[in-house]
A = this chain, B = another copy of it.
Amino acid sequence: MTRFTVDEANIFLSAAFKGRGAQNQVVTMEPGFAVMRLAADETHLRPGGYISGPTQMSLADSVAYMAIMTLTGLEPMTVTSNLNINFLRPCIGAAVIAEGRILKMGQALAVIEVHIRAEGAEKASSHAIVTYALPRKDA
């Protein structure tokens, strides 16, 4: 069972971003797996009307964090150590879906695979691997 629910995740995000990012919602929290949905507005677009790269990177970072919290519960000291993203094809749509799945949950590091696609699209627009450093659990 997830240790951090969809509702808890959305309250956390809303507080962390002080009301900004209301279009940014967690929609699934299962053990080792999280899904977020971003309703895009013009601040997320790049010239040409595509969802921008930074929007996708930010979403990849967030959904990876959520995937970890399905296993750890709320853990504010968890921080990103590496993010590697490949942009595969244009991301065009009114909303973006990001799925994060844990590849490894170690003592010091968690590694999460993220697929991002425009809502309704079959193929991913980007693919990221995100590594988070976990706080030390001291006895």
A residues at B contact (CB < 8 Å): 16, 18, 20, 42-43, 46-47, 53-54, 57-58, 61, 76, 79-89, 103-104, 107-109, 111, 113, 124, 127, 129, 131, 133, 136
Contact = CB atoms under 8 A, between A and B. Distances in A.
B80 A53 contact: yes
Given A76-B47, A103-B124, A133-B108, A83 B53 contact: yes
A9 to B, nearest CB: 15
Nearest to A43: B20
Contacts of A57: 54, 57-58, 61, 83
Query: How many copies of this chain does one complex carry?
Result: 4
B127 A86 contact: no
Given A42-B18, A84-B83, A87-B82, A127 B103 contact: yes
B111 A88 contact: yes
A127 B43 CA distance: 26
B76 A80 contact: no
Given A54-B57, A103-B127, A47 B86 contact: no
9 contacts: A53-B61, A57-B57, A57-B83, A81-B87, A82-B84, A84-B129, A86-B111, A88-B104, A109-B109
A109 B81 contact: yes
A18 B136 CA distance: 37
